[in-house]
Structure 1
Amino acid sequence: WEEGKAPDVIIELISDSTANTDKTTKKLVYQDQVRVPEYFWYDPFNPEDFAGFRLHNGVYQPLTEDEQGRLISERLGLALVRWQGVYKNNVDTTWLRWATLEGIVLPTAEEIAVQAQEEAAQAQQEATQAQQEAIQAQQEATQAQQEATQAQQEATQAQQEATQAQQQAAQAQQQLAQAQERAEQLAARLRAMGVDPDQV
């Protein structure tokens, strides 16, 4: 919308009380004075009362619905479609909605807000889940670290026990060697005294 410039498209939602004015007086005003390129009217409570006009050589020419029952706005490159649902003032009826030529209905500001709110809630849930997973991963990492530390301590203890056992074995070996040496010395003394140690 530019100040001083007529709108490209006007849509009148008509009713029994305004239909005559919208279809005659207003139509002529939009055609002859404001010179709006495209004019549509629609009665939400009488979906068959749906018409569109395009300005051609200063005169509104009626538009024909396509095979899908839509009226096409060349100015906007969009289609006007009849859509069943809840819209203004929570009224459930057949409303007029803009759609792409491929048939995708354009969301209203309220629908965009609801969708944004749902996406924000979903993002919050995903963030919470990611945080919980991070906490769980941290706990698992801490537990793994504790288990690794315990395993290291057990390995160190086993190494110490093995070293101690090795020392004890070496000590026993040394004691055995000493006992054997004493036995040999005693046998030598006995032989020096003329005594056969094997006969003692």
Structure 2
Amino acid sequence: MVQIQPPEIPTFPPGDLWSDEPPLETYRHLEELIILLTSLNRFWSDRTDYFAAGNMTVYYSSRQRKDEELRGPDFFVVMDTERRERKSWVVWEEDGKYPNVIIEVLSDSTSSVDKNKKKQLYQNVWRTRDYFWFHPYTLEFKGFTLVGRNYVEIEPNAQSWLWSDELQLYLGVFNERLRFFTPEGELVLTPEEEADAERQKVELERQRADAERQQADLERQRADAERQRADAESQQAELERQRADAERQRADAESQQAELERQKNAILRQKLLELGVNPDEIG
């Protein structure tokens, strides 16, 4: 009788594994990962259904061996999972979930592996939907998405950005850095950029308030000048009226004086006539 042996059940290492990745090659590589991670976490600050990490080991097989070439992804995002801190990404402890999106930041020493060995791993084993690579010095940038069982290169839009259907975001080069963009074309800001934008907004509001205050001051000054001009015109009109009254009074006085002179001459003439003197003969 042939005894059937039960299938061998793979023994997985413990799930609480530390990440085992080498240091990043340059500050620009580090800065790129920080930008990608912090901008996405800020943009999705209200979401708890994803995990994003940079330069972290992904443990995916009980037969996995340390490979000096085949390190973990530079940056990856796993969707539909719990957003919490992890020491590494252990697939068998995460319901078998693999990264949905991977970005490799190329260097001269890793470029060949990223474009070949890793690409095959992500395509054939991990089945990662969207895969991108970017060189922070040459600015080489490409993206691939799974169609069937193979990666197909993503066609760029008019801005040379590449769409990630998993993230529902564009990726594109901006100021020599790989950045996320919204479907509407807005740059996904880092926390520092958002703080700068808020400061600029506050400063613009302050400048606008200052400009409005200055405009109000000018309007008030203009109104004061108009009122002063109107007062001056009113005073001038009053002076003109007083001058006209004075002229009229002077004319009346002269008329009265002339009338008095006429009456006086008439009385004198009458008296002379009464005395028998011809006034016309008096020189």
Unmatched 5+ residue regions in structure 1?
Answer: 86-93
CA distance in 2 between counterparts of 1:71 and 1:185 reads 118
**Partner residue, 1:184:** 266
Match for residue 55 of structure 1 among 131, 146, 157: 146
Contact 2:129/2:146 (<8 A) preserved: yes
Contact 2:179/2:187 (<8 A) preserved: yes
Q: CA deviation at 1:136?
A: 2.5
CA distance in 2 between counterparts of 1:185 and 1:160 reads 37
Q: CA deviation at 1:108?
A: 3.4
Q: CA deviation at 1:99?
A: 5.9
Equivalent runs, 1:16-55 vs 2, <5 Å: 16=109, 20=113, 24=117, 28=121, 32-33=125-126, 35-45=127-137, 47-48=139-140, 50-55=141-146
> Taking structure 1 as reference, are residues 141 and 21 closer, same or farther at Cα in structure 2, changes over 3 Å only?
closer
CA distance in 1 between counterparts of 2:159 and 2:261 reads 116
Instruction: Give the secondary structure class of the aligned counterpart of 1:36.
Output: coil
**Partner residue, 1:12:** 104
What's the Cα RMSD here? 4.0
- Report percent identity of matched pairs: 27
What amino acid sits opposite 2:230 in the alignment?
A: A
Q: CA deviation at 1:180?
A: 0.8
Greater per-residue helix proportion? 1
> Taking structure 1 as reference, are residues 142 and 68 closer, same or farther at Cα in structure 2, changes over 3 Å only?
closer
**Partner residue, 1:152:** 234
1:195 equivalent to 2:283? Answer: no
Q: CA deviation at 1:26?
A: 8.2
Equivalent runs, 1:156-171 vs 2, <5 Å: 156-171=238-253
> Taking structure 1 as reference, are residues 37 and 158 closer, same or farther at Cα in structure 2, changes over 3 Å only?
same
Aligned length: 187
Q: CA deviation at 1:21?
A: 7.6
Return 112-121 or 138-147, whichever deviates more. Answer: 112-121
Match for residue 224 of structure 2 among 126, 131, 142: 142
Unmatched 5+ residue regions in structure 2?
Answer: 1-46, 51-78, 81-96
Once the two structures are superposed, residues 127-164 of structure 1 have per-residue CA deviations (whole angstroms, 9 ceiling, x without a partner) of: 32332232123223213312321231232122112212
Return the structure number with greater relative CO, CA threshold 8 A, min gap 6: 2
User: Structure 1-normalised TM-score?
Assistant: 0.66
